[in-house]
Amino acid sequence: MERRDFLKGLTAVGCSAAAHPLLTTVTLAQGTGLGENRLIVVILRGGMDGLDVVQPLGDPDFAALRPAHIPSQIGLTGPFALHPGLGGLQGLWQAGQLGFVHATSTPYRDKRSHFDGQTLLESGTGMDVAIGAQRDGWLNRMLQAVPGLRAETAYAVGREALPLLAGPGPSRNWTPEVNLVLSAQSHLLLDHIYHDDDLFRDAGAEAMTLSAELSGREARKADARGAEKGPFGPGDDRPWPDVDTLVDFAAGRLRAATRIAAFSLSGWDTHRGQNNAIGRPLSRLQRIILRMQAQLGAEVWGRTTLLAMTEFGRTARQNGSGGTDHGTGGLMVMAGGALRGGHVFGPWPGLSEAALYDRRDLMPTSDVRAWAAWAMRGLYGLEVATLEGAVFPGLEMGPNPGLIL
């Protein structure tokens, strides 16, 4: 069964299983043609409200749209302020290692479905291709364009599929909640049984290899649970055991041969009580960034760029329950030592009623795919023609924004 069809069947569990806070995925890829730079992509499932994360407090129409909003005191640049939930990233901003793109989105419009929005985000196509028709993801297509890939190129790590790296490139999968322990004799027996079966031989080898790397995982989670005992305030670097496990797994490989990691972080569907509801996913996103920086070390972090993107933004106006509904224009979060940060990128459209998309959403002024494409060009030297043709078919990247040092 396709992931999209399966999730659509779970209508009884609430607005969308695609936005469920417990669904997390990591993908890792390596290849000699990628050089020394690292790229980390974080898919923020559920529709992150960019207007709350990077608050346009200087826009004269913002206060009327968000009467229950609590303004941030963390100034960025121009009219913008940073949500206190990401307050622990101020040091990165000051060091030029944190940036944002406001009013950006995929070409997806009007339907505002988590499933379709995420599918389009990860496939990297425009609306000229039917949603779901593209069978591979843009990150996989980028890897196909890079020479020197090894036979075992990518890892998918987590509890659900990550279509971002789906495609003909070889991949390996790991679910962090499953711990496979086999004796040496069992290893030999399985090797013998499945030696002539390509599917089971490769799957079995994958499971046994990755299970060997899980020793000590439960101990690390126990330590993190102990450290997690609060109280923690907004912006504190709070441990999250599941996030820490995934980051540690990825960072260990990024310090070695791996050059690309992709996480899936859910929990952004803030229909009710957003002032409280958004704190948890922000804390988890901040933890990914800060722990990744710490685990990679200064040298590797200095060659790393992290891009966090969501399927769509949320309505400019708060709803009656103090939340926000599915919208259009959103926000990209960027971090890393290879980033030319300290900027809020992208043209700001304003929040007057006439400036809103469909008189309800932040108007998109850029294509989120273009920012990802320019980041990959800066990191890996891919040709514009390759990025606009093979990786993001039909995309017009526009002028170089200079994201990468």
Provide the CATH number for the domain around residue 103: 3.40.720
% of the chain with per-residue pLDDT over 90: 60
- Mean pLDDT comparison of 21-25, 149-153, 207-211, 308-312, highest-scoring range: 308-312
pLDDT of residue 230: 64
pLDDT of residue 9: 39
In a domain, 285, yes or no: yes
In a domain, 404, yes or no: no
List the domain range (segments joined by +) for residue 300.
Answer: 3-391
* Rounded Cα distance, 111 and 117, in Å: 9
In a domain, 402, yes or no: no
CB 159 within 8 A of CB 27: no
Q: What are phi and psi of 226, to 5 degrees?
A: -65, -40
Is the pLDDT at 1 greater than 50, yes or no? no
In a domain, 275, yes or no: yes
What are 210's two structure tokens? 């990755």
Is the pLDDT at 116 greater than 90, yes or no? yes
pLDDT of residue 29: 73
In a domain, 396, yes or no: no
In a domain, 399, yes or no: no
In a domain, 266, yes or no: yes
pLDDT digits (tens, 9 = 90+) for 54-87: 999 999 999 999 999 999 999 999 999 999 999 9
- Position 21 confidence tier, pLDDT thresholds 50, 70, 90: very low
More confident: 339 or 18 = 339
Q: Which amino acid is it at 268?
A: W
The helix-helix angle for 184-193 and 198-211 (nearest 10°) equals 160
Please tell me the total count of domains within the chain: 1
In a domain, 398, yes or no: no
* Rounded Cα distance, 396 and 387, in Å: 9
* Rounded Cα distance, 86 and 266, in Å: 16
Q: Alpha helix locations (H) across 12-104?
A: 50-53, 62-65, 90-94
- Position 253 confidence tier, pLDDT thresholds 50, 70, 90: confident
Is the pLDDT at 5 greater than 70, yes or no? no
188 class by beta-carbon count within 10 Å (0-12 exposed, 13-18 middle, 19+ buried) = exposed
Cα 40 to chain centroid, rounded: 8
Is the pLDDT at 239 greater than 90, yes or no? yes
Is the pLDDT at 162 greater than 70, yes or no? no
pLDDT of residue 11: 35
Q: What are phi and psi of 290, to 5 degrees?
A: -70, -40
Average pLDDT over residues 377-387: 95
Distant-in-sequence, close-in-space partners of 174: CB < 8 Å, separation ≥ 6 = 155, 156, 157, 158, 210, 249
